[in-house]
Structure 1
């Protein structure tokens, strides 16, 4: 049974995608006189991958006036050469939806497939380690990226700045980013406040063992190591956990398919990555035929 990846896309979003490409008139279809001709359209994944955003693709077709015939649910592994979805309707409707749907599927399936490959590499090495994806997606694409990474088996790290308490080096720079600065005292205040804010944890980004000790001593519940190599993580983690056994450790920065297994074996609790968001698009073939 497939999971339901219930990421919300409002009608205005779907219509905006259509309007961007076909907001007025398909001049070619109009001049060829194809508008009313019954037609069917099918989208096929040329290589093996993971289906993603097929439900939203179906809505694009429906908003354009087509009727859905078949759909492979998001999150489903797809063998090479398999159909993702198909629809029928007036040629004007299926042609208006054509490129919008193809672009959506290629982007989403590419992200989902890349995510699934990273998740598989992590699970093969350290089954208890989670892969988390960041909010670093292109503006306007966050919902697509979120649904696609969920379909690939990852979880969101942070969807927006109002969701979690996460102190970056950029925040600390404004507070006196040095052992003699004010940021450890502020972390103590945040650590006391965070549980009262809907039970949120206090997460501090660190880049060295010295910063990690300062943050842990101040009361941070989670340390996010930025661009720290796996050998260092393997050495630092046991030291920190020996004194702070409840401390959670994350690794972030530069994590991709080529090194994700090494990071998974470093002893952290989760890996934070933006890599799936920049995956190459999937190759989706489109066939349009007259409907007999």
Structure 2
């Protein structure tokens, strides 16, 4: 899965963060010139993610990739995510950078796959969408990891969709102001969806009247959504309905069965990391 673009500068910046000048241990022990091989092995059930980028880390450090499991591949304990060979110095430089990347990405992908399965079991057709709420600099990795687990991005940036929050509504002069401004902008939004955040049924009805294509309920309970979705469907059959705020694996199935079209969650970005073991050994021992 190579659909997410990582430029060379990003890969090199990751390497430079950990090993910008010299690997002092490798230099002092004088083992860098030895031909060696490295394996990164998963220690539990997960989903492979960002293995292609881990391979590029290895290659940018000067070693060669012998095999890898593609992102999106379900993996079991003992599966080798990536095998590489080359001078020991190159492998040792790549080691921790590649391991850290895989532990985060595979952990997120595994959590995503679990949530997607739970949601589909409760309400087939309901999507799991992931937000842009994560630590700065993680967008590409978080995106590729959640895609690998079967989720889809909700909004990758503020220029991608129109999403009217209460903060915008106050600045626009309330619901009347939002309605007037969206009416004026309607021709320019011919290829865009307009999403409006709501906190109640009344908010949702006002949002639909103002021109929303999608209503995003923030921090509503599943019980509230079960009560609000039917009247909204009856009055606005083509209105998309999203549930956001506080959604995690423990309650995702309940939210999925509430009547919405998709769940919007940030929790997957903070999943526990996968456990990836690393071995490096001389080639002549094999």
Q: TM-score range by the shorter chain?
A: over 0.9
Mapping of 1:11-160 within 5 angstroms?
11-160=8-157
Shift of 1:246: 0.8
The alignment's TM-score, normalised by the length of structure 2, stands at 0.97
Query: Corresponding residue for 1:290?
Result: 282
Query: Which of 271, 275, 285 is matched with 2:267 structurally?
Result: 275
Unaligned 5+ segments in structure 1 are 177-181
| 2-structure distance, mates of 1:194, 1:85 | 50
SS at match of 1:174: helix
SS at match of 2:85: strand
| 2-structure distance, mates of 1:203, 1:74 | 31
SS at match of 1:74: coil
| 2-structure distance, mates of 1:252, 1:218 | 21
Shift of 1:189: 3.1
Per-residue deviation, residues 103-134 of structure 1 (Å, max 9, x unmatched): 00001001100000000000101111000000
Shift of 1:266: 0.3
The alignment's TM-score, normalised by the length of structure 1, stands at 0.95
SS at match of 1:158: coil
SS at match of 2:172: coil
| 2-structure distance, mates of 1:149, 1:173 | 33
| 2-structure distance, mates of 1:231, 1:193 | 35
Mapping of 1:255-274 within 5 angstroms?
255-274=247-266
Unaligned 5+ segments in structure 2 are none
Per-residue deviation, residues 18-66 of structure 1 (Å, max 9, x unmatched): 0000010000000000111101000001000000000000000000000
Query: Corresponding residue for 2:192?
Result: 200
| 1-structure distance, mates of 2:16, 2:186 | 43
SS at match of 1:245: coil
| 2-structure distance, mates of 1:118, 1:198 | 33
Query: Which of 6, 10, 23 is matched with 1:9 structurally?
Result: 6
Q: Is it true that 1:226 corresponds to 2:224 in the alignment?
A: no
Shift of 1:198: 5.5
Query: Which of 238, 243, 251 is matched with 1:251 structurally?
Result: 243
